[in-house]
C-alpha cells in the first residue's frame, strides 16, 4: 500500500458544472491543548494538510469537531482561525456547524460565520425537544434563515438522528427548499441509512445538495445523486474519498476503493466515539500532536492504540 503520508492531491482542480459545495469535505477535528483550550496553530496546520490531500473543503465544529462542547466565544475564535487559514488557499471551501438548541445562539453564530466569508453552514435542528413537529422545525429554520443568512448564503440541514434524535423528513426538506430556494441548499446526511440516501435522490434528484456523512455509503450516495461527502474519516483518508469522487465524475463506479474505505470505517466504528479515535490516528499516521478531547469525551484507551492501528492498516491492504 502507498504510504498514507506521501499523498498530495490538488484540492482546487476544475469541477466542471458541479455546485461549489460539491466534493469531498472533512468533518475536521478540533485541535485542543491539554487544558482543553483551542490549539489555533494546530487547526491552521490541519487545514493546510487537508487541502493538500484532496479535500475540497472542511466542516468546522461539526460532530467530529465536538462543536456542541464549546462556548460561543470559543466557536467564534475557531471560525476566525479557519477563515484566516483559507486566505492562502484559493477556492478552498469552508462550512461551519452553527446549530444549537438555542435559536438566538444559532442565529448569532450563523450571522458571524457569513460575515467571515464562509461558503455555508451546517445546522443541527434544535435537539433538546426531540418530539418537535415538522411545523415547529420549519418555524425554527425560518427564523434562522430570515435573521442570519444573506441572500447568497447556503444552509444545509444536519440530518443525524442517531445523535440528535431529530429527523429532517422529506416533506420538511421540500418545504424549506421551496420557501428558501436560494438559501436552503440541502443536507448533510449522517443517518447511515442506504434507503434514506436513495429516497433523497428519488425525491429531489440534483436539486437538493446532499453531502453523505458515512464513508461506507459514499459510492452508493453518489449513485443516488448525492453531491459529495462530509466525513470524519476524511481527516485520515481523504485521498481515497477523492479517488472515488474523481472516478465518479468521470463516469466510473470505483468499488475497489470503496471497499477499502468501507473496511477502514468498519474498524473505526468498533471503537466509538469518533473524535478521540480520529485524533489518535492523526497522531499515529500523520505525525500530528496527540490532541486532547473535551469532557465528557475521554482520551482513547492507550492499550488499544496499536490494536486499532493494526486493524485499520490491514483493512486498507
Distances in Å between the Cα of 215 and the Cα atoms of 23, 72, 171, 299 are 13, 30, 26, 23
Closest CA to 81 of 123, 37, 130: 37
Catalytic residue among 11, 30, 63, 231: 63
Q: Tell me if residue 63 is catalytic.
A: yes
Q: Which residues of 241-255 are buried (b: 16+ CB within 10 A; e: fewer)?
A: bbbbbbbbeeeeebe
Distances in Å between the Cα of 58 and the Cα atoms of 49, 129, 188, 196 are 11, 29, 13, 24
Residues whose CB is less than 8 angstroms from the CB of residue 301 and which lie 6 or more positions away in sequence, other chains included: none
The torsion angle over the Cα atoms of residues 261, 267, 273 and 276, rounded to 10 degrees, is -80
Catalytic residue among 118, 158, 243, 257: 158
Sequence-ordered strand ranges (E) for the chain? 23-27, 57-60, 93-97, 120-123, 154-159, 184-189, 209-212, 228-231
Q: What is the CA radius of gyration of the chain?
A: 18
Q: In angstroms, rounded to a whole number, what is the distance separating the alpha carbons of residues 129 and 135?
A: 13
Q: Tell me if residue 128 is catalytic.
A: yes
Instruction: Assess whether the previous peptide bond of 273 is cis (omega < 30° from 0).
Output: yes
Q: In angstroms, rounded to a whole number, what is the distance separating the alpha carbons of residues 316 and 263?
A: 7
Catalytic residue among 98, 118, 188, 279: 188
- 186 by DSSP, 3-state: which? strand
User: Which residues are catalytically annotated?
Assistant: 63, 128, 158, 188
Amino acid at each position: 500500500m502507498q504510504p498514507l503520508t506521501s499523498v498530495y492531491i490538488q484540492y482546487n482542480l476544475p469541477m466542471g458544472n458541479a455546485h461549489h459545495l460539491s466534493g469531498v469535505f472533512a468533518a475536521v477535528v478540533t485541535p485542543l491543548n491539554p487544558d482543553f483550550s483551542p490549539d489555533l496553530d494546530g487547526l491552521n496546520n490541519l487545514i493546510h494538510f487537508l487541502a493538500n490531500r484532496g479535500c475540497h473543503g472542511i466542516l468546522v465544529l461539526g460532530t467530529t469537531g465536538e462543536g456542541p462542547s464549546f462556548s460561543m466565544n470559543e466557536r467564534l475564535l475557531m471560525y476566525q482561525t479557519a477563515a484566516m487559514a483559507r486566505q492562502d488557499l484559493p477556492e478552498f471551501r469552508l462550512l461551519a456547524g452553527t446549530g444549537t438548541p438555542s435559536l438566538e445562539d444559532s442565529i448569532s453564530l450563523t450571522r458571524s460565520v457569513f460575515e467571515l466569508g464562509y461558503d455555508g453552514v451546517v445546522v443541527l435542528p434544535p435537539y433538546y425537544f426531540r418530539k418537535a413537529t415538522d411545523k415547529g422545525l420549519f418555524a425554527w429554520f425560518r427564523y434562522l434563515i430570515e435573521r442570519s443568512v444573506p441572500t447568497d448564503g447556503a444552509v444545509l440541514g444536519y440530518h443525524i438522528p442517531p445523535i440528535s434524535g431529530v429527523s429532517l423528513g422529506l416533506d420538511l426538506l421540500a418545504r424549506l427548499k421551496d420557501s428558501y430556494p436560494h438559501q436552503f441548499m440541502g443536507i448533510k446526511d449522517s443517518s447511515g441509512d442506504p434507503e434514506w440516501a436513495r429516497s433523497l435522490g428519488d425525491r429531489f434528484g440534483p436539486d437538493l445538495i446532499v453531502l453523505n456523512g458515512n464513508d461506507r455509503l459514499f459510492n452508493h450516495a453518489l449513485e443516488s445523486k448525492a453531491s459529495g461527502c462530509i466525513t470524519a474519516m476524511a481527516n485520515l483518508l481523504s485521498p481515497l474519498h477523492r479517488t472515488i469522487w474523481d472516478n465518479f465524475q468521470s463516469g466510473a463506479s470505483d468499488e475497489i476503493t470503496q471497499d477499502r474505505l468501507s473496511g477502514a470505517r468498519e474498524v473505526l466504528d468498533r471503537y466509538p466515539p469518533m473524535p478521540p479515535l480520529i485524533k489518535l490516528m492523526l497522531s499515529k499516521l500523520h505525525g500530528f500532536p496527540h490532541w486532547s478531547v473535551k469532557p465528557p469525551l475521554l482520551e482513547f484507551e492507550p492499550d488499544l492504540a496499536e490494536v486499532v492501528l493494526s486493524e485499520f492498516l490491514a483493512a486498507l491492504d
